[in-house]
Amino acid sequence: KDSADINQLIMNADTAMYTVKASGRNHYKFFDLEMIELIKEKVKIEKKIREALKNDGFVLHYQPQVKVDGLTIYGFEALLRFKDDTLSPAIFIPIAEEAGLIIEVGRWVTKEAISQLYKWKKSHINLKPISVNLSTKQFMDEGYIDYLRITLAEYEIPAEYIEIEITESILLEQTERTIEFLNELKKIGVMIALDDFGTGNSTFDRINI
């Protein structure tokens, strides 16, 4: 019913395979026309991400972090958004990871946050730490630590004003690379925080950083 052409059938099977890989592998799916539309949408969003990186199409929004007891702002969380679109990062971040763009996106976010601290400093505004989220795949960015260190020095911002947020699942993986990466962050002096804590099952008795 999908086609009488062998080449089209092979393309359909390949599309189904791609869909399985994108959803975590180790599974199977039958081809349907919705898959084509989903892939087209992913390609469209990937193109939008590339254009945003090239043409300054991203912006950071700074969500205040408030102490409940005194209702005072003690920091901000950097939230990545498109300048001309309301597309949720819950949609475009996984696509950036899948397309291999998350490292470039992560570096852009880091530099933009540090640049914002510099602007506040120049305007004589009391600095508050800014939290930046890192995904699992950004831990594979071997040049990130040096990039962070150099950017902080370039803008003359103390490391204590950058907080790196990682998910609970990243910490619990405890790969050699994860531990090494976190220890390098500690050496620089940035803060490390857990994001989405409690959404999974934690076993912190075996964690040593």
pLDDT in tens, 51-99: 999 999 999 999 999 998 888 999 999 999 999 999 999 999 989 998 8
**82: region left, alpha or beta (phi > 0 left; psi from -120 to 50 alpha):** beta
Looking at residues 115-140, what average pLDDT do you find? 93
| Residue 173: predicted pLDDT | 66
How sure is the predictor about 201, in pLDDT bands with cuts at 50, 70 and 90? low
Q: What is the total residue count of the chain?
A: 209
Helix (H, G, I), strand (E, B) or coil at 67: strand
d(CA 125, CA 175): 40
Question: With contact defined as beta carbons under 8 Å apart, do 46 and 95 qualify?
Answer: yes
